[in-house]
Amino acid sequence: MLLSVALGLGAGGFLRSAEPGPVGDPAPAREGNRILPLSNGISFELSLPALIDRHGPPVSDEQPAALPVRQLTFRDFAVTFDRESGRLTTIRLINGVALACGLEVGSPWGDVVAEFGREVEAEDAFQLEVSGLLVSLERDGSVVSGIRIRRSTRAKAGADVLKLRAPLALGAAASRLEPFSNGVLISDPLAVVLAKLGPPEKDDRTHPAVRALIYEDAALLFDARDRGFNRAVLRGSGVKLACGVTVGTAESEVKQLLPSARQPIEGAAYQYSEPGCVVRIFITNGRVEQIELRRIEGASAPNRSPR
């Protein structure tokens, strides 16, 4: 039985990441104009040579061997390119670069409320789907602390939908676990996960207390008492933790990307915790074979360190 296999093995694969699709900049509608053009003129249609020609050499240029991406950080922004297609897939704003609506890192959260409505007033993070893009905004105290824009093949062009979530804990903007590279958050309820990822390959409801959604690279297990999934297992390389660790990552990179992770005994899985979640990273032949996350109410975070 599928569910018993998922429970016995720690669940199946993980959330399928949104591959770079044939989506460029949003259409010139009001919704699109909230996001693009950015104040520094970056466009998702820019090639890597054109980007460097316009903004100069990056501060850092990372090409992790275990990941099919190239990550470049400039003084005021960072970008991710898909190495195979050469397409720009993600833009992260760092300092002084504003969305078309004027919001930037450091803006008062009240400006976010004014732009997107009072329903985001008490949130520490939310995600906006608009014109083929996923836009994530996070805050630290009363100011915007993070803005990330990425392509999405699931977002409906011209749509403008808020995906709200309660933060995992205070300071969740510094989480090394979430959001995952496909935008999923540990606290996402079932309906939001389905909206973000679409229907799973398998939807197992044979167990009376557990519902298992099986995707290509993951399995998510829900129960009626929980807002978000209470267990997830990554068994494919299609999805990364926020820190960049994914299935296939070299053990040496795990130590660099998640330096607070510890092995209780030599050869055991690496363990790392944040408020509300514990993760175990299993290594085989020097590379990550599986990542298991469990939600735990009231969990402490002895291993957590700021990014």
Output the pLDDT for position 254.
92
194 and 117 assigned to the same domain: no
> Taking the complete model, does pTM exceed 0.75, yes or no?
no
Q: Among 130, 147, 174, give the residue marking a domain's end.
A: 174
Which is higher by pLDDT, 265 or 165? 265
Task: State the pairing for strand pair 60-62/13-14.
Answer: unpaired
Count of domains observed in the chain? 2
pLDDT tens for each residue of 183-223: 777 777 777 777 778 888 888 877 777 788 888 888 888 87
Domain boundary among 139, 174, 209: 174
How confident is the model over 88-106, as pLDDT tens digits? 988 999 989 999 889 999 9
Residue of higher predicted confidence among 28 and 97: 97
281 inside domain: yes
Q: Are residues 92 and 162 in the same domain?
A: yes
- The verdict on 227 and 169 lying in the same domain is no
Q: What is the pLDDT of residues 32-61, one digit of tens each?
A: 468 888 999 888 888 999 999 999 999 888
Domain membership flag for residue 194: yes
304 falls within a domain: no
pLDDT at 67: 67
The tokens describing 166, both together, are: 């309660």
Asked whether residue 34 falls in the same domain as residue 169, the answer is yes
Q: For residues 217, 223, 224 and 229, what is the CA-based torsion angle, rounded to 10 degrees?
A: -50
pLDDT digits 0-9 by tens, 140-158: 888 998 898 987 655 444 4
Tell me if 167 is assigned to some domain.
yes
Residue 117: burial class (beta carbons within 10 Å; 0-12, 13-18, 19+): exposed
Pairing between β-strand 60-62 and β-strand 69-73 as defined by DSSP bridges: antiparallel
Once rounded to an integer, what is the mean pLDDT over residues 269-276?
86
- The answer to whether residue 66 is domain-embedded is yes
Q: Is there a single domain that holds both residue 170 and residue 82?
A: yes
Q: What pLDDT is stored for residue 22 in this prediction?
A: 33
Q: Is residue 36 part of a domain?
A: yes
Do residue 209 and residue 240 come from a single domain? yes
Check whether residue 88 and residue 123 sit in a common domain.
yes
Q: What are the Cα distances from residue 76, in Å, to 29, 103, 141, 212, 246?
A: 27, 14, 21, 41, 27
Instruction: Flag whether 182 is in a domain.
Output: no
234 and 170, same structural domain?
Answer: no
* Same domain membership, residue 45 and residue 150: yes
Among 62-66, 133-137, 303-307, which is the least confidently predicted range? 303-307
Q: How far apart are CA 231 and CA 223, in angstroms?
A: 10
Residues 277 and 300: their CA atoms lie apart, in Å, by: 9
Provide the residue range defining the domain that includes 273. 2-16+188-295
What CATH code is carried by the domain that includes residue 253?
3.40.33.10
- Gap between the Cα atoms of 66 and 244, Å rounded: 10
Q: Are residues 123 and 215 in the same domain?
A: no
Q: Assess if residue 303 is contained within a domain.
A: no
Query: Which pLDDT value is given to residue 225?
Result: 57
